[in-house]
Structure 1
Amino acid sequence: MRPAPTTDLTIGELLDRRLVRSVFQPIVDLATRTVMGLEALARGPAGTTLEFPDRLFALSREAGRLGELDMLCFERALEGAIAAPVPPPLLFANGEPAVMGQPLSPRIMELFMSGPPFRTILEYTERALPAVPGSLLRLSGNIQLGGNGIALDDVGVDPMSLAFLPILEPEVIKLDMSLTRDPDTAHARTVAAVVRAEAARTGAVVIAEGIETEEHLTTARRLGAHWGQGWLFGRPGPIDQVRHFDPAAAAVTRAARPGFHQPAGTPFEIAAQRRPPVVRTPGDVETGLARLREITIGQACAVVTVSHPGLAGLLQGLAGPGRAVVLLDQPVVGEFVAAVVGPGFGYALCARDSRIVTVDDLPTAAAISRVLLSHTG
């Protein structure tokens, strides 16, 4: 039995003395069991009340220092991987959605400028998508500039994550362990089908979490996972517990795409590249919105983004458990825009001056949605 923590330590002391440490868990190829990378997991000092992340993050949030803790955890993960006897080709590090808008610390900038011998994949849970989509898109854009990538974690817990997948297009999709534990429910089958299709469309790598048995491994492969992590392959521990990696792991993940998350141009201009605008006639906007509403109601998961307050009333009642309607804080000047995106489908209506254009293909509608969502928090 593990002894009860006896050492008291405050959040302030922990942060001021940089007492966060990282443990690392292997991520393996499910077909070969070759280690492809490591996920860094934050821990406080062993034997203290702040050793484990649930209490560590809860108390830092209460103290108003969550951002500092999040940044320190990232710093320590990078430091540990850089100093490893055999650095991993891929380092997965977790980010806290509530503070993702903060700038990177000088220490992190210094570490990235040193040219780490690995690619970093920053993980965010699906909670980040509906809460702060604009911040997540901006952060994703900055990460891509450095050649690194994004992972969407815990996919399958909230159906909203499936709706946002085509907008974010992460390099890695991580299936929540609940799917491996209970794979034959209608929900699990739906999630697996959507993720398989999205991975095939975008080249994303699918990782299954929580693999503890050979049966879990078999189930994870049936769900469409390429890689996996869990106690079957190794528990979190010192970074030097793994000394052999697949050297091609970083190349397996999709290459960075600078600018992808902040497409150039306005929604109307992006739509016009796909389909020539036509002269707007009375009723065109209403007809387009009726089409958008029809598409949205027919889908279990969807994200509707609206750029003009005057359009909001025409889209009442579309929000639901798997559907979100996002009204822009700062509408696109001079344009009426509404877009819907979800698993495997997309539609957008864009009007400017006397012209209007509608598109019904997913890549274009997703690009328009990225522009719109970049105007939000």
Structure 2
Amino acid sequence: MTTHPFGLKSATRRADVVPVTPLRTDPATAAPVDLDRVLGEDALRTVFQLVVDLDSRRPVAVEALVRGPRGSGLATPGQLFDAAARTGRVAELDRACLRTALRAATGAGLAAPWTLFLNGSPDRELPAELTAGVAGARPVVVDLTERALTTRPGQVLRAAAGLRARGLGVALDDLGADPAALALLPLLRPDVVKLDLRLLAARPEAEVAAIVQAVSAQAERDGTTVLAEGVETEEHLRTARALGATLGQGWLFGRPAALGDLLARTPVPAHPLPVLPPAGPGGDGPTPFAALERRRPARRAGTDVVEEALRHLERHALRGVEPSTVVGVGATSPERAARHEQLARRAGFALSLPGADGRGEDVRGTVVLGPHFAGAVLARPVAGTGEFDLVVSHDRALVTALVTDLVRDAPDHVPAPVIGPVPAPVLAHRPAVEAGPPAAGLGEQVGEALEEGRRAGTGTGLLVVGVDAAVGTEGRCGPARAEVVRRMRRAVRSVDRWLPVGPDLFAVLLTGLPRSGSEGVVERVADALLMAVETSMDSHPDVSVSIGASLAPTRAHTGAEAQRQALAALDAARRAGGHCARIWLV
């Protein structure tokens, strides 16, 4: 079992997703039930898990975890949301889960100083109970996921602003899979950051250190509370403290249970969970340039001075090792475009806008925000002079407000990016992988793991990883390919199996997965593999990695079926150009 310097060890389950009693919900034996009936008959149920202060072990909050009918094929959250996704009813299920959780909290008399954690989504309409004041009986914190933040940052920032306007807190859940989330932390300013010990145990040591430093900086700067999930043993408790957590959640402090039972045997918290004060003033002008100019007087400068100021800021960002947010604004020169390509590789999150406010204002500039650095250079041409009004700032509060406004107000899909992901190299031709030799034994191994999982009531995940060379580089890419493979092997959790399948094909077999949340575990392991590849991108630009996945019994019911699904998804990822995060066959 691999041990991190922080004491992290790979766990076998997540405490926040394991139900109160073991569930055997294999589709072959589960009682038949459909989503219409679950929603129509109001058959959802809610269990609650304690959140405690790690020093005193006194409770401070509870998290609501919604389940389906016991013993049915929709008993777990994963089964519920899979069924909802197949029928286009995820939003309806989301609202029903929130209503069920709030009703259970109200019915059990949960009131301040208790704090209630609820799972939310940035693109779902809040139920009336959260907007009509029912939640006001106790402080409420809504969890938003890291994946939502990194894929839809503007939407998440707008959702967080809406939640805070209603008096609700915001938590960032499952932090650690994507460096972009670390870059976006100062923009979101979550009241609570949740670190999943199982997720961190799957990360290389250097990445865990980067996560801890970024979270510690956020906690020190804004007062964000750090909560460790999956605390199941005293050793986990020591690890959580080493990571900087002050709150914890997991089996060490109690399994999920009915709220009435929890309240009957648990002392009342000393005080509600604190939430952050409002952020300082943001952009107080009609455009970001105007907002910056009001705080930092502009000076007249020629093109050479403007370009040198931009070059200096962008080079500083390139030298940094921290996950940063970089926003490029307006027109660019070929030299600057090349720097932006490098920034896109290194930055945690990169965005390009046609103008400083996204509405075409004639401004050029770059804004950089990292855990320990902030800088903005914006220049606006002065008509008929060939010169610019130049504004430069390194005021962290001002730069943070500027970047937050830019990202929050940007459209979901920004066209023609100046800064954006560098295209993956054109791959050498790879025919679709067939389920024959040398992959023939893979299905058998997956099948054996699936049978063991059925007996234990757990799930089995399969990742198939293709490591490919760009056209014309196949003969000289052997050492580079081997280095990429070594990096990925180090990123695999100690509880999982790395299986060579062919010269350029590998499999990762994940066993003992909790039925609830198993898809998320598979995706996080895939994210860990891709992150390991990204760290070697500059050294090995001609090597590309594609991943396909399957999950049993949720998506596949036999080893052969899981293998076919994963290989088909891999083939689709390769056709998309490699480094493809969409790992499921859709």
Q: Which has the higher relative contact order, 1 or 2, with Cα contacts under 8 A spaced 6 or more apart? A: 1
Rg larger in structure: 2
Greater alpha carbon shift after TM alignment, 125-134 vs 223-232: 125-134
Pick from 249, 258, 264: which aligns with 2:272?
Answer: 249
Cα separation, 1, equivalents of 2:35 and 2:305: 58
Correspondence for 1:363: 397
Contact 1:137 1:262 in 2 (8 A): no
Cα separation, 2, equivalents of 1:264 and 1:20: 46
Matches within 5 A, 1:221-236: 221-236=241-256
Q: In structure 1, what residue type is equivalent to 2:351?
A: V
What is the CA deviation profile of residues 177-210 of structure 1, one whole-angstrom value per residue up to 9, with x for unaligned ones?
A: 1366579922222221221121011011110111
Q: SS at 2:123's partner residue? A: coil
Contact 2:102 2:129 in 1 (8 A): no
Correspondence for 1:118: 138
Matches within 5 A, 1:30-41: 30-41=54-65
Cα separation, 2, equivalents of 1:292 and 1:37: 43
Pick from 305, 314, 323: which aligns with 2:327?
Answer: 305
Question: Are residue 62 (structure 1) and residue 62 (structure 2) matched?
Answer: no
Correspondence for 2:149: 129
C-alpha change, 1:261 and 1:278, in structure 2 (3 Å) is closer
Q: SS at 1:197's partner residue? A: helix
Of all paired residues, the percent bearing the same amino acid is 33
Give the TM-score taking structure 1 as reference length: 0.89
What is the CA deviation profile of residues 273-332 of structure 1, one whole-angstrom value per residue up to 9, with x for unaligned ones?
A: 442211232134422332332132223412212343657836223223752221248714
C-alpha change, 1:321 and 1:310, in structure 2 (3 Å) is closer
Correspondence for 1:351: 379
C-alpha change, 1:292 and 1:21, in structure 2 (3 Å) is farther
**How far off its partner does 1:150 sit?**
0.8
Q: SS at 2:325's partner residue? A: strand
Correspondence for 2:308: 287
Correspondence for 1:342: 370
**How far off its partner does 1:211 sit?**
0.2
Correspondence for 2:563: none
C-alpha change, 1:179 and 1:69, in structure 2 (3 Å) is closer
Cα separation, 2, equivalents of 1:262 and 1:66: 34
- Count matched residues: 369
Cα separation, 2, equivalents of 1:367 and 1:248: 31
Matches within 5 A, 1:303-342: 303-308=325-330, 310=332, 313=337, 315-320=340-345, 323-328=348-353, 331-334=358-361, 335-342=363-370
**How far off its partner does 1:357 sit?**
0.7
Cα separation, 2, equivalents of 1:272 and 1:29: 44
**How far off its partner does 1:93 sit?**
1.0
Q: SS at 1:28's partner residue? A: strand
Correspondence for 1:12: 36
What is the CA deviation profile of residues 115-174 of structure 1, one whole-angstrom value per residue up to 9, with x for unaligned ones?
A: 532111111121122211111111111111122111111122222211111111111111
**How far off its partner does 1:175 sit?**
1.1
Matches within 5 A, 1:198-209: 198-209=218-229
Contact 1:267 1:350 in 2 (8 A): no
C-alpha change, 1:359 and 1:47, in structure 2 (3 Å) is same
Cα separation, 1, equivalents of 2:199 and 2:248: 13
Q: In structure 2, what residue type is equivalent to 1:267?
A: P
Cα separation, 1, equivalents of 2:152 and 2:211: 23
Contact 2:186 2:400 in 1 (8 A): yes
Pick from 99, 105, 110: which aligns with 2:127?
Answer: 105
Q: SS at 1:200's partner residue? A: helix
What is the CA deviation profile of residues 73-102 of structure 1, one whole-angstrom value per residue up to 9, with x for unaligned ones?
A: 122222222222343621111123xxx233
Contact 1:318 1:324 in 2 (8 A): no
Give the TM-score taking structure 2 as reference length: 0.58
Correspondence for 1:267: 288
Correspondence for 1:276: 297
Contact 1:183 1:219 in 2 (8 A): no
Question: Are residue 149 (structure 1) and residue 149 (structure 2) matched?
Answer: no
Greater alpha carbon shift after TM alignment, 34-43 vs 342-351: 342-351
Q: SS at 1:103's partner residue? A: coil
Cα separation, 1, equivalents of 2:23 and 2:127: 36
* Structure 1, gaps ≥5 residues long: none
C-alpha change, 1:2 and 1:143, in structure 2 (3 Å) is closer
Greater alpha carbon shift after TM alignment, 190-199 vs 14-23: 14-23
**How far off its partner does 1:374 sit?**
1.9
Cα separation, 2, equivalents of 1:180 and 1:310: 39
Correspondence for 2:116: 91
Contact 1:124 1:152 in 2 (8 A): yes
**How far off its partner does 1:219 sit?**
1.2
Q: SS at 2:124's partner residue? A: coil
Correspondence for 1:213: 233
* Structure 2, gaps ≥5 residues long: 1-21, 383-388, 413-586
Pick from 33, 43, 49: which aligns with 2:73?
Answer: 49
Cα separation, 1, equivalents of 2:236 and 2:37: 41
**How far off its partner does 1:21 sit?**
2.2
C-alpha change, 1:322 and 1:12, in structure 2 (3 Å) is farther
Cα separation, 1, equivalents of 2:23 and 2:193: 34
Q: In structure 2, what residue type is equivalent to 1:95?
A: G
C-alpha change, 1:169 and 1:108, in structure 2 (3 Å) is closer
Cα separation, 2, equivalents of 1:309 and 1:15: 52
